[in-house]
Structure 1
Amino acid sequence: MKKIMAILLCAALIASFTGCGKTDEGEVSQNAQEAENQGTENTDVANTEKEEETAKEDYKFAIIIPTSGNEYFQGEIDALQAVLDEYGYELNVISYDMDATKQVSSVENLITMGVDAALIFPMDKESVDTACKSAMDAGVKIISGGIALDNMNALYNTDQVEAGNTISGMGCDYIKETYGDNEVEVAMLVDTSNSNMATRSEAMKETLAKECPNALLVKEIEANDTESGMSAAENIIQGNPDVKVVICINDASALGVVEAYKAANVTEIAVFGSDGTAEGLKKISEGESLKGTIAFGAINLGEQLIKLAKGENVDELLSPPIIKITESNVAEYMAE
């Protein structure tokens, strides 16, 4: 009897251990499955976050310019393209060809194009501000070049008074060095097509009158590109042959003046411009009649646009320093 009871007790003990073993194995299996499911969920979340991060990095940019035939604006395009290419970002280049209606539609199209941030060079505030508001309401970040708008994230603008003062200041220095206190006839090519150029033009005239009282301004003509600059110079050569200095609103018009005087075989002429274009610097370095220009120090607008697209803040005013370039230092800037 005792032997039978011992056998039954052993059987019961074995059964109890076996039962416990089955329960633990089930729990382990269940826990493993839960861990596997949790791991899958974590992987899915990580992949989703990665995809969202990648999508956010796929930014599109645009530059809207008034004309495609200007070396200054081409320089702005090239500078932006170089920066954005480093990141693999797309840059859309849009010219509104000095057409106010086309300018507005160009800004409105930024929304349908899916542009995240744009550099815009407006004709004037009134014609484009409403379109910029619509674009910003749709999430487009805007840097305005040259004209302060009610609807923009930042203003990229030169101190136009300082620019005008510096251009005419170079002309005055040349007159003093070359002609002393003798009276010298001067012509000026100005641009009043927008508020910035009008401000620069006015500063040019004021500085000439203030710093060079022996300079006699005998001709003032509207010109802002090479063709109009050449036409203006031909007019001056015919009507005012004693002009010795021509002070120009920009390099584009100044280059037209240089070519016109060269074609007329007039050598006693000094021309001054602005914008520090490659062709302008080349003419100065070659000892042509273009004697000086101003350039604008570097502001990395590409990086500024990228910051805006990412939701980061930038300075409200992006103003480049003004650099005076003459034959004495032109080589330094041509090498860059």
Structure 2
Amino acid sequence: MKKRIVAALLCVSMVGLMLMGCAGTRDDGTIKVGITIQNLSNAYWAGVMGKLEQEMEARGWEYTIVGCDNNAGTQVGQVENFIISGCDLIMVHPADAQSVEGICSEAMEADIKVMCWDDPMENTTANWVLDNTELGREIGKTASEFINEHYTKDEKAQVTVIGYPSTKVLLERADGIKEGLEENCEDNYEIIAEVDGLEAPEAQTNVETVMSAHPDANVFVGVCAGAMIGSNEALLAEFGKGKIPENYGVITTDVTLQQLDSLKAGNEAVRAIVGFEGSNEDTAKACADMFERILSGDDFSSGKNIYRAIGPITLDNVDQILKGM
């Protein structure tokens, strides 16, 4: 059974199906891949995983994709099930990297290849990672271009940083955003609030709270798609589509169809997105290519942290990105 995407809340009941997705001996010629990510309800991850399914199906692989609902204990159990079921490769997007080091070591001892997405883990064959501090700096730099265009030392941008500090990589992004703002702004901004916002509803609620306490809040920068979508919805509720002042803006990372549509619309608050690879299709293909390298026995001994490319998405290139969503 190739196609199996399930939510973490169903993890226990789905163990049997997981075994079906990766079942069989590992010497029968069929590649079997087990993937566990933080949260399948996240719009970015749902989009990329959908395209990754297509990539793996095109290669004739069997696979299981599960979300752990940001629960490290659940994720450890998922990796353990992948080991028992005889996967050739396990990809882990850690809820907490330290918590899964041990079980990933067991996978490698069982001669299973392991790839980590996002964290430079020790007990892996290779890590496909972002320099999250550098990604944050790029978000801050991109936001600074918007701020420098619209604000001065006498009339400073009122900036809200939307992060999720309980997750290490997102804390690094938020810190990088602040560094990027400091490095590139012309003394024409101040950070008035820092709030959580991993998923859009939480971000929208927290941005609305900020706007109530700070009526002049006008620039919102964040670490993920949820931060952008939630901020944009809060501003649409406040002003209405086509009525958001041109000096109000939202700049974050991740690449979802909703974000791109909001950017392309031109009458919402989304001003730029800092993305990686390009579209969901581009990211999925790059990920599957990494799987191919690992499975073929590429030597990563000289450096197993493989860094992904990043760059801004604006009105200039949004149409090209949309083609691959």
Normalising by structure 1, report the TM-score: 0.79
CA contact (8 A) 2:151 2:188 kept: no
1:296 aligns with 2:264: no
The ranges of structure 1 where at least 4 consecutive aligned residues each deviate by more than 3 angstroms after the TM superposition are 309-315
1:231 aligns with 2:205: yes
Aligned to 1:192: 165
Give aligned pairs, total. Answer: 283
Task: Give how far 1:94 is off.
Answer: 1.2
Task: Give how far 1:135 is off.
Answer: 1.2
Higher helix share: 1
Report Cα offsets for 1:267-305 as digits up to 9, x if no partner.
232111101222111110001111111110156221322
1:334 aligns with 2:314: no
* Distance verdict in 2 for CA 1:68–1:320, change over 3 Å: same
Aligned to 2:88: 116
Aligned residue for 1:147, secondary structure, equals coil
CA distance in 1, matches of 2:288, 2:71: 26
Q: How does 1:30-45 map to 2 (within 5 A)?
A: none
1:172 aligns with 2:152: no
Q: How does 1:27-106 map to 2 (within 5 A)?
A: 55-106=27-78
Identity of aligned residues (%): 24
Letter in 1 for 2:276: F
1:252 aligns with 2:252: no
Aligned to 2:251: 272
Aligned residue for 2:124, secondary structure, equals coil
Q: Report which stretch shifted further, 54-63 or 176-185.
A: 54-63
CA distance in 2, matches of 1:286, 1:155: 36
Aligned to 1:41: none
Task: Give how far 1:118 is off.
Answer: 1.6
Task: Give how far 1:312 is off.
Answer: 4.3
Task: Give how far 1:56 is off.
Answer: 4.3
- Unmatched 5+ residue regions in structure 1? 1-53
Letter in 1 for 2:178: K
* Distance verdict in 2 for CA 1:84–1:216, change over 3 Å: same
Task: Give how far 1:136 is off.
Answer: 1.2
Task: Give how far 1:329 is off.
Answer: 2.4
Aligned residue for 1:202, secondary structure, equals helix
Report Cα offsets for 1:214-238 as digits up to 9, x if no partner.
1011111121111111111111121
Letter in 2 for 1:320: R
CA distance in 2, matches of 1:229, 1:118: 32
Report Cα offsets for 1:173-207 as digits up to 9, x if no partner.
11111224432211110121222111111011122
CA contact (8 A) 1:62 1:117 kept: yes
Task: Give how far 1:132 is off.
Answer: 0.6
Report Cα offsets for 1:76-116 as digits up to 9, x if no partner.
31232222111221110111111121111111111112111
CA contact (8 A) 1:142 1:154 kept: yes
Q: RCO (CA 8 Å, sep 6+): is it higher in 1 or 2?
A: 2
Q: CA RMSD in A?
A: 1.8
CA distance in 1, matches of 2:295, 2:214: 53
